[in-house]
Copies of this chain bind each other. A is one copy, B any other.
Amino acid sequence: MEEIFYYIGVIGSFALAISGALVAMNKRLDPFGVLIVAFVTAVGGGTLRDILIEGRDIFWITDPNYIYFILGGAVFAMIFQDRLEILRVQLLLFDTIGLALFTVIGVQVGLSFDFNYTICIILGVITGAFGGVSRDILVNEIPVIFQKEIYATISIIGGGFYIILVHFECKDGIYQLLPIALIIALRLIVVYKEITLPSIYKENE
């Protein structure tokens, strides 16, 4: 089970690196800039989580394999930039798998340190969503997840669902797949139906 998680995690990094590289190329950064933005998009969430947890090593320093996959993702995006339009659906799927898996991994890490449930969910959201936030800060945009996508809200829901399962001692590998499936399903529905969070602002302001 753990091994499967690991491989999906690596694939998630690869997908997030591509997503970061595409945003960077849209801003016409030079190759090094594209590489850095890809790297930060892929590892930003997990890195902040590991910085916040006293006594925990940064995951990609302990296991540099992530770096090679991210480098691969960035180079792949630079080479195939014209043709990636065709792969949009696959990319969204990878990105969504990344969100789902990174959220669950973040919650797991929190649980392994015996943190309060609220903290675990926050660590899940940070792991799943902060990479995209740092990407947007680097390219000088207001983070997109603060504005229109329900990205992070779905991460909270999935993380909360995972905590409920854990609380009722559903800890087997098979149960860990449920919140992952929930996050993927919700995100695909949201993107397909173009659902947004209800506005908190009055219309004709």
Q: Which residues does A use to contact B, with CB under 8 Å?
A: 24-25, 27-34, 36-37, 47, 51-58, 61, 64, 67-68, 78, 81, 115-116, 118-119, 122, 133, 137-143, 145-148, 150, 152-153, 196-201
Contacts and interface: CB of A to CB of B under 8 A. Distances in A.
Nearest to A156: B32
Contact of A54 (B28, B55, B67): B55
Contacts of A57: 54
Contacts of A148: 30
Contacts of A142: 27, 29, 138-140
21 contacts: A25-B201, A29-B142, A29-B147, A30-B146, A30-B199, A31-B200, A32-B146, A32-B197, A33-B143, A33-B146, A34-B200, A47-B52, A51-B51, A51-B52, A54-B58, A61-B119, A64-B118, A67-B119, A137-B138, A140-B140, A140-B142
Q: Considering the complex of A and B, which 9 residue pairs feature the smallest CB-CB distances, nearest first?
A: A33-B146, A29-B146, A30-B197, A140-B142, A64-B116, A54-B57, A64-B118, A78-B200, A32-B153
A61 B53 CA distance: 8
Contacts of A52: 47, 51, 58, 61
With a 10 A CB-CB cut-off, give which of A68, A140, A199 has the most chain B CB atoms: A140
Given A56-B54, A138-B146, A67 B201 contact: no
A142 to B, nearest CB: 5
A67 B118 contact: yes
Contact of A140 (B122, B141, B197, B199): B141
Nearest to A54: B57
B137 A32 contact: no
Contact of A28 (B29, B33, B139, B201): B201
Contacts of A58: 52, 54
A199 B25 CA distance: 11
